[in-house]
Structure 1
Amino acid sequence: MDTITHTLFGLTLYGTVDKKNMEKKEKRAFLVTAVGASLIPDIDVISRLWDTTGQYQMWHRGITHSIFLTPLWAAVLFLICMAIFKTKDKRLFFLGWLAVVIHNTSDLFNAWGTGYLEPFLNTRITFGTIPIVDLVFWAIMGTAFILSRKNKQKSPYYFRMAWVFMTLHLIIQTTQGFLLYNQYDEKYDEVALSANFVPWTYSVIAKQDDTVTIFQDNLFQKEKEQYVLVSKEDADLDYLFSQRPEAKTLYQWSPFVVVVDDGKRLGLYDPRFYRDGQSFLYEYIER
């Protein structure tokens, strides 16, 4: 998910906490824990500062998003709150742990994916059933905020119900994506999903031999063919990788790629992010 959504997740988690009998410093500790833990896995963006070998694509959403590191991040936030707010409430640790688990798990459902099982499995796990910016999530959390403002006494209830509805949305959206994926998986060598901003609508990226076809589809209408892309499977990728290490990283990171070799440029791109004639995830060298 994007940074705004993760921040909203943290604020919504904070909203579920009953704060009637808390002092101001306790409330601040819970707020910092909920929001901080909802954002801390993305600390990996600082790897750009020392990345000289084109590995950022693997580092971002890599080990910092591992499910096995979630209690460590929770402990870090707990210690920070102990130092700043002088509180040792154990609930802070469990709130932080839950926030990190939600961050890492929600990212699994985007096309970008995560290294959820690193360091034991380096495969980037992605379901592609939820867009990175999901406006349904935003609407649910916004509704909970508005209702909580009107009735502060029931504020935790509204935010807890928001999590129930967001979970239902995730289940419904992912189930539909899974059913669509299976329909295409029977006919193509490789298939990937990328959820659209419109709920229950997906881009289905299907590869057969050297041809990649991108469809727009959902369970309630006939699929619409959007793009047909031809991949130059016999291109010299070793040469490309030697000249541009980022290309090798993208090749390893993506479920599959489209290779371009037109005499002027040699490169590859991830077709899951193909829009209006180009993908924003690409690596090229000039001939």
Structure 2
Amino acid sequence: MDSLTQIVLGAAVGEAVLGRKIGNKAMLYGAIAGTIPDLDIISSFFADKVTALEIHRGFTHSIFFSALFAPIAAFIVSQFEAYKNKKDWSWLFFWAFITHPLLDAQTTWGTQLFWPLDIRLAFKNIFVIDPLYTLPFLVFLILAMRQKKTSKKRRFYNNCGLIISSSYLIFTLILKWISYQTYTKELAAQNIQYIEIETKPTPLNTILWTANVETDNAFLIGHASFFDQNSINFSRYPKNHHLLGDLINHPKMKRMIAISKGWYIINKEKNNLYFNDLRFGALSIKPNATNFVFKYKIDVDDNGTPFFIEEPKNKQDGQKLLSELWLRIKGN
């Protein structure tokens, strides 16, 4: 999830654990701890693209990290804070650390919660930025912050934020199930044979859902709103994996394919090959859009090793996407 959401979650968790004893400092330290797992983004400055992608939401988003670094953080903080109970500080940091990846596991990228096991949890029931999750949570947190640390209202407001936000996550799982049923029925009605299907919400909402559908030689992408009246139209994208030639057997290419979970297409533009990760869709929901969110130019060094250069994103595409979403959410 986005940084603001993780700050709010961390602050609310910190308050729940230690707010009665240290007041707003519990929110402050919870908010700081809630952002620490995302420091793995630093890897993008010194590692190659594939390695950085593998590191992202890996070790720092694991139970192992939370259990290991919570007491370390507690020891450090207890050295200069008036409140010295290391056990209480450890619980604050542990829960602020661990709730971060638990929330991220609801998104498309997911998390390696059980690192070092190569298992990435990705339930794909919420977009990385969802105002319906964050804003009510933030309002209740601010209300709690304005109360005295011993006030019953403070605990009530904070608990409301935690309960409402968690309930919304459960609700999105129900919406995902409904969306999945809609797509499978539509595929059957259109007599489309498929290997696998994955559904996820489009940006900033849980009304319009998109599906990636794998067939033998292509991937299909469709969009369906709960307000739709007509059939779903699917855009077809040939896999074109053959364009990789012998590169498909290179260890680094295999790692990139593993990162995408196999949801990728290759296209050729001006004699350049591009690797497109389909899991995150395109910066447009128009049929046959090709401006994928994660698109990488494939270059090869003198040793025959492929390396990946991420294509820059056009800000105007993002603005257009918001307009397209608003119209499409209303139904087809």
Shift of 1:127: 1.4
Indicate the larger mover: 191-200 or 131-140.
191-200
Q: Indicate the residue corresponding to 2:106 in structure 1.
A: 109
Shift of 1:177: 1.0
Q: Indicate the residue corresponding to 2:314 in structure 1.
A: none
Corresponding position: 1:12 with 2:15: no
Q: Which amino acid aligns with 2:4?
A: I
Identify if the C-alpha distance between structure 1 residues 205 and 150 changes in structure 2 by more than 3 Å, giving closer, same or farther.
Answer: same
Identify if the C-alpha distance between structure 1 residues 254 and 34 changes in structure 2 by more than 3 Å, giving closer, same or farther.
Answer: same
Identify if the C-alpha distance between structure 1 residues 93 and 151 changes in structure 2 by more than 3 Å, giving closer, same or farther.
Answer: closer
Q: Indicate the residue corresponding to 1:202 in structure 2.
A: 209
Contact map agreement 1:173 1:200 (CA 8 A) in 2: no
- Secondary structure of the structure 2 residue equivalent to 1:163: helix
Q: CA RMSD in A?
A: 2.9
- The Cα offsets for residues 80-139 of structure 1, whole Å up to 9 and x where unpaired, read as 21223152252221122111121011111111111122212x133211111101111222
Structure 1 vs Structure 2: percent identity of aligned residues? 21
Q: Indicate the residue corresponding to 1:163 in structure 2.
A: 162
Indicate the larger mover: 80-89 or 165-174.
80-89
Structure showing greater relative contact order (alpha-carbon pairs closer than 8 Å, 6 or more residues apart): 1
Q: How is 1:1-287 mapped onto 2 (pairs within 5 angstroms)? A: 1-16=1-16, 19=19, 22=22, 28=25, 30-52=26-48, 54-85=50-81, 87-120=84-117, 122-148=118-144, 153=151, 154-181=153-180, 184=183, 188-196=194-202, 197-218=204-225, 221=228, 224-225=232-233, 227-236=235-244, 238-239=246-247, 245=252, 248-255=254-261, 256-261=263-268, 264-273=271-280, 274-276=282-284, 277-285=290-298
Q: Which amino acid aligns with 2:31?
A: V
Where structure 1 has 5 or more consecutive residues not aligned to the other structure, the ranges are none
- Secondary structure of the structure 2 residue equivalent to 1:58: helix
Where structure 2 has 5 or more consecutive residues not aligned to the other structure, the ranges are 188-193, 285-289, 301-332
Shift of 1:162: 0.9
Identify if the C-alpha distance between structure 1 residues 220 and 172 changes in structure 2 by more than 3 Å, giving closer, same or farther.
Answer: farther
Q: Which amino acid aligns with 1:51?
A: A
Contact map agreement 2:75 2:86 (CA 8 A) in 1: no
Identify if the C-alpha distance between structure 1 residues 82 and 237 changes in structure 2 by more than 3 Å, giving closer, same or farther.
Answer: farther
Q: When the two structures are aligned, how many residues end up with a matched partner?
A: 280
Identify if the C-alpha distance between structure 1 residues 193 and 80 changes in structure 2 by more than 3 Å, giving closer, same or farther.
Answer: farther
Shift of 1:160: 0.8
Indicate the larger mover: 179-188 or 67-76.
179-188
Q: How many angstroms apart in 2 are the aligned matches of 1:83 and 1:275?
A: 48
TM-score between both structures, scaled by the size of structure 2 = 0.74
Contact map agreement 1:129 1:202 (CA 8 A) in 2: no
TM-score between both structures, scaled by the size of structure 1 = 0.84
Contact map agreement 2:18 2:92 (CA 8 A) in 1: no
- Secondary structure of the structure 2 residue equivalent to 1:271: strand
Q: How many angstroms apart in 2 are the aligned matches of 1:185 and 1:234?
A: 29
